Structure 1
């Protein structure tokens, strides 16, 4: 991954439990920074890298990830004490995700997704055991009419208990409450297209993107490369068979739309057809 240096802390994003922040960097880019000092710890960042890079390699839209160096002094003018403490605890290497200006949070009652794309996303989330892409919190954005996947820090629950990783990774995936479940995801088609791409070589390349600093001192492992191999060994067999263990039952309960008012009257594929003055004005 490219490495950049944070030059200005812009604002916190309070929607995220880990309090990520929008920052500017020395490459003139703007990023969402996720901090090593956040309460969830460095494994959240490891999951972001492994799953984010894997998603990108599989052709899914995931914002570019970068290594981001932070000097806490850039946040000295931030008035929030919680943010100040987070920055002080996160000096050094952190993770940056390309900021998508003007993006809108995905709402299944306001945007349509075809069954093929829905299937690929659900299959991918089943592979990485993503429990954080439900209608309650979709963790998807619509940007320039396309669906983008964000926030993979809560995936791969097995890496919090490596002795039980094989058994955990062999478990099924319940997609009943997945944000894309209403769009009749084509799981079989997704598995046929994506599973052959998930090779040992690909997973090894993806795991190699994780900085050593976030893997050192992992209990039960003699080196950072051993930890990387553990991620490969958990994901490789799961990719081959997880499509057989995805369940799609009716969602737990219906959900009211969170879409802006100018969208709720004309839900459908984005972008909406031209010629509707209300929709055009909403852009």
Structure 2
């Protein structure tokens, strides 16, 4: 099993904002010389969106989907002091510390269901990924997929695991499936769901799930508004993912019925 090795880099230059994203992510340069799409801890959904982005991205990678490299990004307070735009200035100020970056795929284009192509097994894997992580935001309106080098790349998983916005009731989600899969942008192309489920079972182990969760930065799990401890939160993420994973045949049937 390949070990997860998440690099930590420092932001050295704020290049420009990506205004198509509601949370105002940005293109930044890091001290390794590469460009990244930086997701800010100070944005609307805060650190929980970074956690969802990280878990979803690493599960996608584990099951053989293409995902840009994810890195932890240190942002210091110098950038907010030189930013003229007040909205961005505030965002930078509230995001000092550890954020999440995705390697920038230069010249990648947004997946368009009307013109872009992908094979049916990849489509089926993405559909089951989003059923497992309860991703409500991979629709025709907002595909959160890229085409790069003639391949499909999975990005933007921050709307997943929505149960963590209300920890008091998170256990209610353990018995559920994911009816919202009916709105998935790739559902019509997902004609090999059973085959995809077999691959996922072979590639995604309980140990891999636990390893992904263990790599969530402790700082992201600490919140004044949450009464749960960080250890309990990690255990809850693991239990939730395992509950979905154990119901993968049900998720396949649900997606097939919706299609």
Q: Same fold (TM over 0.5)?
A: yes
* C-alpha separation in 1, matches of 2:27 and 2:77: 14
Aligned counterpart in structure 2 of residue 47 of structure 1, from 49, 52, 73: 52
In structure 2, the residue matched to 1:161 is 166
Q: Report the TM-score when normalising by structure 1.
A: 0.83
Aligned counterpart in structure 2 of residue 221 of structure 1, from 228, 232, 248: 228
- Aligned counterparts, 1:181-200, within 5 A: 181-200=187-206
State yes or no: 1:247 paired with 2:246: no
Secondary structure of the equivalent of 2:87?
helix
In structure 1, the residue matched to 2:155 is 150
In structure 2, the residue matched to 1:204 is 210
In structure 1, the residue matched to 2:103 is 98
* C-alpha separation in 2, matches of 1:187 and 1:4: 38
Note if contact 1:117-1:185 (Cα within 8 Å) is conserved in structure 2. no
Q: Are residues 159 and 196 of structure 1, via their aligned partners in 2, closer, same or farther at CA, if it must alter by over 3 Å?
A: farther
- C-alpha deviation, 1:77, in angstroms: 4.1
Deviations 1:119-165 (A, max 9, x none): 11101110001110011100000001110011011001122223332
Q: Are residues 41 and 248 of structure 1, via their aligned partners in 2, closer, same or farther at CA, if it must alter by over 3 Å?
A: same
Note if contact 1:47-1:152 (Cα within 8 Å) is conserved in structure 2. yes
- C-alpha deviation, 1:249, in angstroms: 6.1
* C-alpha separation in 1, matches of 2:39 and 2:236: 24
The structure with more helix, counted as a fraction of residues: 2
Note if contact 2:62-2:204 (Cα within 8 Å) is conserved in structure 1. no
Aligned counterpart in structure 2 of residue 7 of structure 1, from 12, 15, 18: 12
* C-alpha separation in 1, matches of 2:175 and 2:141: 26
* C-alpha separation in 2, matches of 1:192 and 1:166: 27
Deviations 1:192-214 (A, max 9, x none): 11034333211110001110001
Note if contact 2:177-2:244 (Cα within 8 Å) is conserved in structure 1. no
* C-alpha separation in 2, matches of 1:24 and 1:75: 15
* C-alpha separation in 2, matches of 1:162 and 1:40: 15
- C-alpha deviation, 1:43, in angstroms: 0.4
Q: Report the TM-score when normalising by structure 2.
A: 0.90
In structure 2, the residue matched to 1:107 is 112
User: Rg larger in 1 or in 2?
Assistant: 1
Deviates more, 1:111-120 or 1:69-78: 69-78
